[in-house]
Amino acid sequence: MTRRTTIYDIAKELGITAASVSRALNNNPKISESTRKLVMETAAKMNYKQNKLALALRSGKSFNVGVIVPRIDSNFFASVIRGIEEELNEHQYNVIICQSHENEKREGESINTLLNAQVDGILMSVSNVNSDNSNLLKRIIEKNVPLIFFDRKKNIEGVSSVTINDFDVSYEATVHLIKQGCSRIAHFMGNQTLEIFENRFKGYKKALEDNGIAFNQDYVIQTKSVLEDGKRAVDELFSLESPPDAIFSSSDFTALGAIKQLKMKGIKVPKDFCVVGFGDEPFTKFMELSMTSVDQAPLEMGKMAAKVFLEQINNKDNIKIEKKVVLKSQLLIRDSSSRNIIL
Cα–Cα distances in Å, from 100 out to 58, 67, 72, 107, 243?
33, 10, 10, 5, 37
**What pLDDT does 65 receive?**
96
Contact 290, 336 (CB under 8 A): yes
Contact 99, 70 (CB under 8 A): yes
Residue 26, burial from CB neighbour count under 10 angstroms (0-12, 13-18, 19+): middle
Within a 10 A sphere around the Cβ of 241, how many other Cβ atoms? 5
Parse the chain into domains and list their residue ranges.
Answer: 7-50, 60-163+297-327, 166-296+331-337
**Which of these CATH numbers, 3.40.50.2300, 1.10.3720.10, 3.40.50.300, 3.40.50.740, describes 60-163+297-327?**
3.40.50.2300
Residues whose CB is less than 8 angstroms from the CB of residue 48 and which lie 6 or more positions away in sequence, other chains included: 5, 6, 7, 9, 10
**Which of these CATH numbers, 1.10.260.40, 3.40.630.30, 3.40.50.2300, 3.40.50.300, describes 7-50?**
1.10.260.40
Q: pLDDT tens digits, the chain, 343 residues: what are they?
A: 467 788 888 888 889 988 888 888 877 778 888 888 898 889 888 888 766 555 554 556 788 999 999 999 889 999 999 999 999 998 889 999 999 998 888 999 999 999 999 999 999 999 865 666 778 888 898 888 999 999 999 888 889 999 999 999 999 999 999 999 999 999 999 988 889 999 999 999 999 999 999 999 999 999 999 999 999 999 999 999 999 999 999 999 999 999 999 999 999 999 999 999 999 999 999 999 999 999 999 999 999 999 999 998 887 655 566 789 999 999 999 999 998 643 3
Alpha carbon dihedral 204, 205, 210, 215, in 10-degree steps, equals 130
Q: 60-163+297-327 and 166-296+331-337 share one CATH topology?
A: yes
Domain spanning 166-296+331-337: CATH superfamily: Response regulator (3.40.50.2300)
Residues whose CB is less than 8 angstroms from the CB of residue 239 and which lie 6 or more positions away in sequence, other chains included: none
Provide the whole-model pTM: 0.81
**What pLDDT does 316 receive?**
60
